A and B are shown apart, each in its own frame.
Chain A
Amino acid sequence: MKHPKIYTAIMLICFFGTAVFLNLAGREGYSEVERRELAGFPELSAQSYVSGEYFRGITAWFSDTVPMRDKLTTAALAAEELKGIRLKSGEEEISFHGVMAVNDDDDTGQEQTAAVNDKPDITAVPAADPVSQDKAVSDDSLQAAEPSVSSDTVSEDEVPAVEQQTASIPAHTNSAISDNVAAPSDDFTSAANGIIVTGDGENTRAIMMYGGSTGVTTQYAQVANKYKELMPELNVYVMVIPTSVSYYCPQAALAYTGSQLKQINNVQANLDEDVIGIDVYTILGEHRDEPIYLRTDHHWAPLGAYYAASKLAEAAGLDYLDISEYDVNVVHNYVGSMYAYAKDIRISSNPEDFVYYVPKNVELKTTYTNYKLDSSWNVVGEAEPAAGQFFIKYPDGSGGAYCTFMGGDAKITRVETSVKNGRRLLILKDSYGNALPAFLFGSFEEVHVIDSRYFTKNIVEYISEYQITDLLFANNAFHASTGATVRAYERYLTQGAE
């Protein structure tokens, strides 16, 4: 090589420059993009030394907490685009990274495969290392997160599928919903972790593929029936909320997702006559051209919850506030969870507005009973009930904006409204349910919210203590087809009884 000293000098300057930056610049502790606490420096002990854990921990800590991590990982994603070309012209040129074909008829009782929706919202949880974050997905859904589940794994305490019953569909609301929503045929180009990304610019949308089965959704309906049997006085409603895959999945990707409609209909078909199924599938489909789902997050948008809540109010025979009776609040430049899950630069480069609605003329008295969680997100304690705000304002650009409602999941929420009609609603929900109460404050005297992952009391006692009149099961289609949800609801009936 000619001029070897010059070459060596330049390379050493680059090398030591990077080394100085990585070693001496301030290390990061939290990743906005990935929504997680970064690895901590490990503790030295005889055991951690012998097992090698200590050194592995240092290695992980060093690479996890590099200075400017979020900026650099974003730059890395941009650089990944150099690998090739994203084809966009026509359906034969489409990719499904990390997405497998789903056989909808193969109802072997398996659980829903994708557990992204199980991730608790970040602001509500304590600092957790990456490992325990994964555990935060309740243990059953951890099993569900294994890719192998998609075809052959049945979690051991899962009972075999029950044949879909068609005989006893009650006349009122529990009839089968027809699919009047045609899936669009947009092109989509890429995905990872079971997510596809479709559209471009302001239409970029990340969609989680679905794989639920009638085995679990039948049990989901049955557990609602059980609540009604035990508490015949209670009005019981079941609202299975479709996710964006039901409305925005491109034609060519349909083979890779299960039908949520089929599972929603299965729930409807298995509900007893006196349990009321709320069809939100149809009304959401009618409004699919409005921003009813977040494009960059795995949640729906509050507007979608508005339409769903209106159906509940109708079914409960109550008035509800029209959307015009709400103040509109916007968190601009919102990039939701799908960026971290899909690791696709197009999601972060096309942020959206997170729009939420605060009722104008309703007085709220919100009381929270917060759960204390350990680093594995198990409930380890419970705080005294304390007054708080139902709506929490997030600044523009905040990725945690979906926690606007109640600040997250790990709590019991009781909201007393200015309505005086003696109707008290309890919502048993996952994070999709967080967006609902805001639209029911004009309909019910009290709204209680309990998350299906965190509740340690006895539900029958709770319902009688607060004189609940209406009970809503509000779960997204992923959670309604996850055995852990069903088992939690069953447990609530018996746990903590005095």
Chain B
Amino acid sequence: MLRRLKYRLNWHKIPVMYFSDLIFLYAFLPAFVICYFVAGLWGKKEGSGAARNIVLLCFSLIFYAWGEPVLILLLICSAFICYICAKTHKETAGIILLLLSLIIFKYGNLLTGLTGLAAYIPKIPLPLGISFYTFQGIAYLADVKRGRAKPQDSFYKLLLYISMFPQLIAGPIVRYTDISEDIDRRSVSPEDMAEGIRRIICGLGKKVILADHLSLIVEESMGADLSTLSTPMAWLGLLAYSLQIYFDFSAYSDMAIGMGRCMGFKFPENFDHPYISASATEFWRRWHMSLGSFFRDYVYIPLGGSRVSRLRRLFNIMLVWALTGFWHGASLNFMVWGLYFGVLILIEKELFFKEKDKERFKVLRHFTTPVILMLGWGIFYFEDFSKMKDFFDVLFGRGGMGSETLVMAGLSQNVFLLAVSLILCLPLPKMKEGTVTTAFRTLYSVAILVLAVLFLIGSTSHPFLYTRF
């Protein structure tokens, strides 16, 4: 209620430059497009792509400095560590240094809090996007160590890889090998440009039209006074939150991938309709894929993967999932959330769905899996365990005094929002390419742009959920 009003009025709480900020969309981005275009023309004349890269690097640093005017030094230091350690083949030392910086800056407060040192050590700020850029640095060093990538000779190009603004603060986690060639040579076809723009607009729509409005339902349910929350309202809130977090996060990836494509970079896909999964294992092949594959390639497989004793494999799986959970935030509920998936995946792998049983109960599991995923988001949402318990109590019938009328109104007043959100979770049939399809795309793209700018003006930006992870 009033908290929301206050939040809207409280500018100090508005975070930095996000993709859904008017200033990003309509001041930063146009300025960047113009400079990048001019640099491209100039580069063509000179026969070099360096000018475009320099423009991209400068804008990336401005973008980051907008949110972290001081801790941008940490980003540059991290890139420099990567650069030197790769050049001197001290990759392991580099990885340790990067991990240390992540532990100090991301988990320092939690550690000092748990050990009682908090009274002596000042609060450490959490630098924007540190989990993303540190992991990119680690991936780079690991790939160099294993000979999959050549050390980058130019510091500014490596800094460009680490700091490139489209994927800087919320992923996807781009491997150096994905774009190392693109940094030197890249081309953009008219098709790339159009698809890239369409992708950006789809992302913007997901964020501003869907996720931001779903968040209002979440606030009225999970964010409200739990003692007066009714069971149906709790489920509605949990559904809305599950949808919100997907659209919010995948929106950011869409915009990043789209912007990359417009510039000739091919960033990896990050989401593939996660909610149609029939198991937790499948979910993690479809959700935040760049993170899942990072842990698979740089943690799970180096630990021996599945070619070890059963007990060791069990340990490996739980370790990977505890880390995955913890990566999301310096709070214990994220670890519980990760372990929840670890246990689910173990159960699936070891007990039920071995390779030969893959199809068993598949139809049924398409219905049960989303519920299991939603319960996971319940753990994800509440950093306060006592609130989490209260919420789950309500969810399973020990509800507060809130009336069912709320949920009817919540449903009816958001019926189209929820319907569109649910439909967009499904893989929709591909449209046959043709003039009519392009006309249709043009129409909905313009509609999304208009609606998005209206909504952005109508309310202060809801920050992307994933950027502090």
Q: Chain A interface (Cβ within 8 Å of chain B)? A: 1-8, 10-12, 14-16, 18-19, 22-23, 36, 39, 49-50, 52-60, 62-64, 66, 69, 72-73, 75-77, 79-80, 82-87, 91-101, 113-115, 129-131, 133-134, 145-148, 150-151, 189-190, 192-194, 252, 255, 341
Contact = CB atoms under 8 A, between A and B. Distances in A.
A134 B6 CA distance: 7
Interface stretch (B135-143, B186-194, B283-291): B186-194
B318 interface: no
A11 B225 contact: no
Interface string B427-457: 0000001110110011001100101011111
A22 B449 CA distance: 14
A439 B64 CA distance: 61
B412 A193 contact: no
A57 B213 CA distance: 25
B1 A194 contact: yes
Nearest to A73: B458
B356 interface: no
A77 B458 contact: yes
A187 to B, nearest CB: 11
B227 A151 contact: yes
A76 B454 contact: yes
Contacts of B402: 101
Nearest to A115: B2
A93 B408 contact: yes
Task: Please classify the interface of chain A as helix (H, G, I), strand (E, B), loop, or mixed, using the class held by over half of its residues.
Answer: helix
19 contacts: A1-B198, A1-B441, A2-B434, A3-B438, A5-B190, A6-B442, A22-B26, A55-B66, A56-B12, A59-B17, A77-B458, A84-B415, A84-B416, A87-B408, A93-B408, A94-B408, A95-B410, A151-B228, A193-B2
Contact of B438 (A2, A52, A54, A95): A2
A95 B413 CA distance: 9
Interface residues of B, number: 80
Contacts of A113: 2
Residue among A12, A18, A54, A341 with max Cβ neighbours from chain B (10 Å): A18
Contacts of A151: 225, 227-228
B73 to A, nearest CB: 12
B11 interface: yes
A283 B299 CA distance: 76
A144 B279 CA distance: 46
Nearest to A129: B11
Contacts of A79: 451, 454-455, 458
Residue among A12, A101, A115 with max Cβ neighbours from chain B (10 Å): A101
Given A76-B457, A92-B405, A84 B449 contact: no
A83 B454 contact: no
Contacts of A341: 5
A148 B225 contact: yes
Given A11-B197, A59-B23, A66 B228 contact: no
Interface in B177-228: 189-191, 193-195, 197-198, 201, 213, 216, 220, 224-225, 227-228
Nearest to B71: A52
A395 B181 CA distance: 67
Nearest to A189: B409
B386 interface: no
A111 to B, nearest CB: 13
B414 A83 contact: yes
6 smallest CB-CB distances across A and B, nearest first, come from A95-B409, A76-B458, A4-B194, A98-B1, A60-B11, A62-B23
B68 interface: yes
A66 B30 CA distance: 16
B423 interface: no
B405 A94 contact: yes
Nearest to B193: A8
A63 B438 contact: no
Nearest to B417: A83
Contacts of B17: 55, 59
Contacts of A96: 405-406, 409
B41 interface: no
B91 interface: no
B371 interface: no
Given A83-B416, A87-B412, A101-B401, A14 B449 contact: yes
A50 B69 CA distance: 6
A35 B44 CA distance: 53
Contacts of B434: 2
B22 interface: yes
A7 B405 contact: no
A303 B451 CA distance: 42
B124 interface: no
B224 A59 contact: no
Given A52-B67, A75-B458, A82-B416, 7 more contacts: A2-B434, A5-B194, A8-B197, A18-B26, A22-B22, A76-B454, A101-B228
A60 B21 CA distance: 9
Contact of A147 (B3, B197, B451, B456): B3
A100 B416 contact: no
Nearest to A23: B27
Interface in B292-344: none
Given A2-B433, A83-B213, A95-B413, A19 B455 contact: no
